[in-house]
Amino acid sequence: MDLPSWLDAPKIAGLSVLTLIVVQYFKSGIPDKWIKFSSLGVGIALSFACEIYIGAALNPVKAIINGLIATVTADTAYKFVSNSKSASFTLPSKADITKDKPEVKP
């Protein structure tokens, strides 16, 4: 499978690791309901910082997409390797979303 030329898998992997590290470091100071949005912001900000650091021509769309993919990858990796049931950085499952809603029978 050929990836688009602007989608750099090693860079996204590095960004996802950095996103995970930064969010986990500052997680205690962020309210739980803002963790998901904060992680997206961190991923996008790190992507912009990476583009500026390497001296590439700054393409905002590319930086945002790379940041979003890095955040999703970081979240998936955290959920995969985490042995705790903490939902502080993970997206809610369907069961978590529907557990408070009563079941409607036809």
Q: Is 72 exposed, middle or buried (0-12, 13-18, 19+ CB in 10 A)?
A: middle
Task: Kindly state whether residue 56 falls inside one of the protein's structural domains.
Answer: yes
Amino acid of residue 37: F
Domain count for the chain:
1
pTM for this entry = 0.67
Query: Whole-angstrom Cα distance, residue 60 to residue 70?
Result: 15
Task: Tell me what pLDDT residue 1 has.
Answer: 60
Task: Kindly state whether residue 24 falls inside one of the protein's structural domains.
Answer: yes
Q: Which helix (H) or strand (E) holds 24?
A: helix 9-26
Place 3 in a pLDDT band, splitting at 50, 70 and 90.
Answer: low
Range(s) of the domain holding residue 14 = 9-98
Task: Kindly state whether residue 4 falls inside one of the protein's structural domains.
Answer: no
Task: Kindly state whether residue 1 falls inside one of the protein's structural domains.
Answer: no
Task: Kindly state whether residue 17 falls inside one of the protein's structural domains.
Answer: yes
Choose among 25, 8, 27: nearest CA to 67. 8
Is the pLDDT assigned to residue 71 strictly greater than 80? yes
Task: Kindly state whether residue 106 falls inside one of the protein's structural domains.
Answer: no
Q: Which tens digits make up the pLDDT trace of 17-38?
A: 888 888 888 887 878 788 888 8
Task: Kindly state whether residue 92 falls inside one of the protein's structural domains.
Answer: yes
